[in-house]
Amino acid sequence: MDRETALPLPGERRKPTTSRFAAARPPRLELAPAPRWHGIFEWGLRVLAASAILAIALILIFIAKEAAPLLYSSAVRAEVTLSKMVFSQLWPGYDEAASVWQPVSEIPKFGLWPLVIGTLKVTIVSMVVAVPLGVASALYVSQYARPRTREIVKPLIELLAGIPSVVLGFFALIVMATWFQNVFGFESRLNAIVSGVALSFAIIPVIFTLSEEAFRAVPRSYVEASTALGAARWQTIMRVLLPAASPGIAAGVALGLGRAIGETMIVLMASGNAAIVSANFADSVRTISATIAAELAEVVFGEAHYTVLFFLGTLLFLATFAINTVGDWTIRRMKAKLGGAS
């Protein structure tokens, strides 16, 4: 066994390497003198490459720009302010203060909590289903399956990722909702459980792919050492493979979480879209993403409702951005701790 893949010696410091990025780099030397326009070409490449940064910046700027009147426009603020959105209000006809989302009623109400709770409920259901299924099937494909089986199962699960979300939404709305209602006797046909389970179909492949990669990236020497010490296979899995693969699994879970919070079409079609505050997962829910999709087409440019929907978009953007960044950071830290185990 070569030194690179072996366990680090005590006190040995090793640069963390990853299987995904530790590729052979192109050589840095340049022997032939290059004509000037080659340099111009390289600058062009650099400018085009920066377009990804530009895109992210433009997205944030142009969503926040449409949401900004919420903070300064008096016409908008006459109808809705941040504090009215966050804190429960005593609306006429209500006995006690409540957070209500009724943007097109006579007195427009823009309480955020029904939407936030709806988003959380659907996300929780989808993650509860997707994380165990994604990680366990990755474990099976990478460790138990024969190479032949692996070559068939892996692309099939990845094919699941290719199903457009509108098709999953359609399937949840037309087929699954009826099945679930018949089996569980839900009062409302479309609810957090149906949409959450359908959403998990979109997330399982994300978690599967990254977990599978993580399991396979664990150096074989770890497994061999564990086996040599007399560990049974399941002990090796629990004590060696899972901890060593945890950065990759965490990456998959983080990506899946971001996807779950932002996914639109599935929840728009299968969640029932009722903005209710309740702890019951069998109630209809309305998520932030579905609210934007359902309501933006009917609002007037620049009015309060329009501004609030862009504000919701800004919230979604920031939430997913934070999850991605924190996930990325966690992964890098764990990798550093494991000393290049991933």
| Contact set for other proteins, span 94-123 (CB under 8 A) | none
Three-state DSSP class for 220?
Answer: helix
User: Shortest CA distance to 73 belongs to which of 301, 302, 300, 296?
Assistant: 302
- Partners of residue 285 on adjacent β-strands: 272
We find the least distance from the C-beta atom of residue 113 to other proteins, in angstroms, to be 20
| Residue 7 sits in the site that holds other proteins (CB under 8 A) | no
Site for other proteins, residues 14 to 33, rule: CB under 8 A: 17, 19, 22-27, 29-33
Pairwise CA distance, residues 39 & 221, whole Å:
46
**Under 8 Å CB-to-CB from 315, ≥6 apart: which residues?**
288
Q: Which residue has the tokens 């449409």?
A: 66
Count interface residues toward other proteins (CB under 8 A): 119
DSSP-derived letter for residue 5 is G
Three-state DSSP class for 164?
Answer: coil
User: Shortest CA distance to 252 belongs to which of 199, 315, 206?
Assistant: 206
Site for other proteins, residues 246 to 265, rule: CB under 8 A: 255, 258-259, 261-265
Residue 71 CB coordination number (10 Å): 12
Site for other proteins, residues 268 to 297, rule: CB under 8 A: 268-269, 289, 292-293, 296-297
Nearest to other proteins of 110, 222 (CB atom): 222
We find the least distance from the C-beta atom of residue 280 to other proteins, in angstroms, to be 24
Among the residue ranges 42-50, 71-79, 109-117, 181-189, the one whose residues contact other proteins (CB under 8 A): 42-50
Nearest to other proteins of 114, 272 (CB atom): 272
Pairwise CA distance, residues 255 & 88, whole Å:
32
End-to-end CA distance of the chain: 18
| Residue 145 sits in the site that holds other proteins (CB under 8 A) | yes
| Residue 227 sits in the site that holds other proteins (CB under 8 A) | yes
Identity of residue 152: I
Nearest to other proteins of 97, 164 (CB atom): 164
| Phi, psi angles (nearest 5°) of residue 261 | -70, -35
Among the residue ranges 83-91, 95-103, 171-179, 180-188, the one whose residues contact other proteins (CB under 8 A): 171-179
Nearest to other proteins of 165, 191 (CB atom): 165
User: Shortest CA distance to 193 belongs to which of 263, 118, 106, 251?
Assistant: 118
Site for other proteins, residues 296 to 325, rule: CB under 8 A: 296-297, 301, 309-310, 313, 316-317, 320-321, 323-325
Among the residue ranges 70-78, 79-87, 113-121, 152-160, the one whose residues contact other proteins (CB under 8 A): 152-160
Q: Which of 9, 10, 11, 46 binds other proteins (CB under 8 A)?
A: 46
Identity of residue 138: A
| Residue 183 sits in the site that holds other proteins (CB under 8 A) | no
We find the least distance from the C-beta atom of residue 62 to other proteins, in angstroms, to be 4
By the 8 A CB rule, do 309 and 291 touch? Answer: yes
> What binding mask, one character per residue, do residues 201-220 give for other proteins by CB under 8 A, x or -?
x--x---x------xxxxxx
Among the residue ranges 43-51, 73-81, 99-107, 113-121, the one whose residues contact other proteins (CB under 8 A): 43-51
Q: Which two tokens stand for residue 213?
A: 């990669």
| Residue 233 sits in the site that holds other proteins (CB under 8 A) | yes
Residue 106 CB coordination number (10 Å): 7
